[in-house]
Structure 1
Amino acid sequence: MFSRSVFRSLAADLRLSAPSSISSAAPLRQRACLHQTALLRTQQQEIQPQSSSPNSESSLSATPRAQTSQPETKNAPKVPSYDPSSPSSIPQTRADVPIAKQPVAPAFDSPLEVTKSLMSRLPHLAGQSPHYIVAELHARPYLLTEGDHVRLPFLMPKVKSGDILRFNRATALGSRDFTMKGSPHLDERLFECRVRVTGVESEPMRIKEKTKRRQRHTKQARSKHRYTVMRVMEVRVKTPEELLEEGAVVIEDNEDTPKIEARS
């Protein structure tokens, strides 16, 4: 059995030997923080040249720095960037539209045939604006006027924002007092309906759970559809002078030709 005095002497010996153990652990800490000591040495080396030349106006670092900006050229022309959202970049007339964005002109083998009654009432319809049109796209009718925004129920392929499209299939075209109906469609040389693709919209994510009988596994079907958005830029009826310049031929009245009816 050891006495209390022996324990006290052992504790005093441990206290005296504690600094030696701390000093022995110091190299391990230095090894663990080796990257920090390397950073301190590099900082001290950069500070020493500054302290050796106190009269110098600016200190230069030994390590070269990469150039982040390009030199400015005074005589270089400024190229304006195209921004579809800005109103200044939107073309006001058809001549301002780029050639690549303009629609392809239709080609026909036979001239347009117009009846006498249609030619007599066409100036009244063309002079009364605004006009509306019932255009068909994939066998779906759309009632459109100039300035309307249309969201198609599908994503139209191979079109981009800013493209100009022309609707050439219409069943009716009219104004406040007159209506021109086709049988079943109007000739596309009688009118012009142009739309501009403004972008693509997407609906919120829909999750539908699908289960089968006598099975404890449930599947989730996710769907997020996208739709093409357009804006109607022009709905116009051509005048008799324009039709005659394009080579239209005046014929007698016929049941198959389109007619202009006045609203009662």
Structure 2
Amino acid sequence: MFSRSALARAFALPLEQCSRPTTSTTSTTFRACLHQATTTTTTKTTTSHQHPEAPLSATPRAQTSEPFQQPRFRTATDSIPQTRADVPVSKQPVAPAFENPLKVSQSLLDMLPHLASQKPHFVTAHLHDRPYLLTAGDQLRLPFLMPKVKPGDILRFNRASLLGSRDFTLKAARYLDERLFECRVRVMGVESEPLRIKEKTKRRQRHTKTAINKDRYTILRVMEVKVKTAEELLAEGAVVVEKAESAADVEVKA
């Protein structure tokens, strides 16, 4: 059993520790609290003395600073100007630049209206020295994965050996001049074949090699195959020459 003096000493010990600063941290904290309380009281007193008779009002005060301007979002009227087939300017292919003007013969200019008016047109486009017979609306799966393209990009095939319709064909010695036609395709996406696993073994060797193959292909959609008219060629700076100097000519199918 504890005596009364021991109990009294035990209850009085916390009070003595609180009243006596034991470390510098306790003293600093206590002084900081007193300083903050004193400052707050002084500020409130000064404010009340400055406007002793100002009544409280619920009327909002005038705003001195300018309001924050939120970013304005682009609307349909402020969008990028659209060109033919609703293709943005940033997606349009780069216009070709040539040093010499296009040379056409008078017979080609006479037959171009018949070829341009007879639709649909077809084109034998060459990509990596492989010919592809294309018409507007066709879907082309390339036998390889085309690098640096994304779905939605517009590409232009500028190398072709044949361009024609049902009754007329435009031919050249090797390739047609790309200023005579336009063949535009859109990148639709990428397809991949099923995963193929092949085991390779050699005689008199206790080891089997496993070859894993999964090819990917780029899918294109032909958007437009267009033959330029004689007026468009002359407006772009074409020069009329003799038939022997012309690089292309229109043939009529039998």
Q: TM-score, normalised by structure 2?
A: 0.67
What's 1:129 paired with?
119
What's 1:244 paired with? 234
Deviation digits for residues 43-83 of structure 1 (CA, Å, limit 9, x no counterpart):
xxxxxxxxxxxxxxxxxxxxxxxxxxxxxxxx998879xxx
Q: How does 1:50-129 map to 2 (within 5 A)?
A: 94=84, 96-129=86-119
Show the counterpart of 2:166: 176
- Residue 198 of structure 1 corresponds to which residue in structure 2? 188
Q: Is 2:82–2:89's contact at 8 Å kept on the other side of the alignment? A: no
Shift of 1:97: 1.6
Unaligned runs of 5+ in 1: 1-74, 81-90
Partner of 2:248: 258
8 Å Cα contact 1:183/1:256 also seen in 2: no
Q: 1:160 to 1:125 in 2, by over 3 A?
A: same
Shift of residue 94, structure 1, vs aligned partner: 2.0
Q: Which residue of 1 aligns with 2:217?
A: 227
Query: Residue 157 of structure 2 aligns with which residue?
Result: 167
- Count of aligned pairs between the two proteins: 180
Decide which moves more: 98-107 or 230-239. Answer: 98-107
Distance 1:257 1:77 in 2: 53
Residues 130 and 262 (structure 1), Cα distance of their counterparts in 2 relative to 1, 3 Å cut? same
CA RMSD of aligned residues (A): 2.1
Give yes or no for the alignment of 1:213 onto 2:206: no
Q: SS at the partner of 1:121?
A: helix
Flag structure 2 segments of 5+ consecutive residues without an equivalent: 1-69, 76-80
The runs of at least 4 consecutive aligned structure 1 residues that moved more than 6 Å come to 75-80
Corresponding residue of 1:8? none
DSSP 3-state at the match of 1:254: helix
Of 122, 147, 151, the residue aligned with 1:157 is 147
TM norm structure 1: 0.65
Aligned residues with identical type, % of pairs:
69
Provide the residue aligned with 2:132 in structure 1. 142
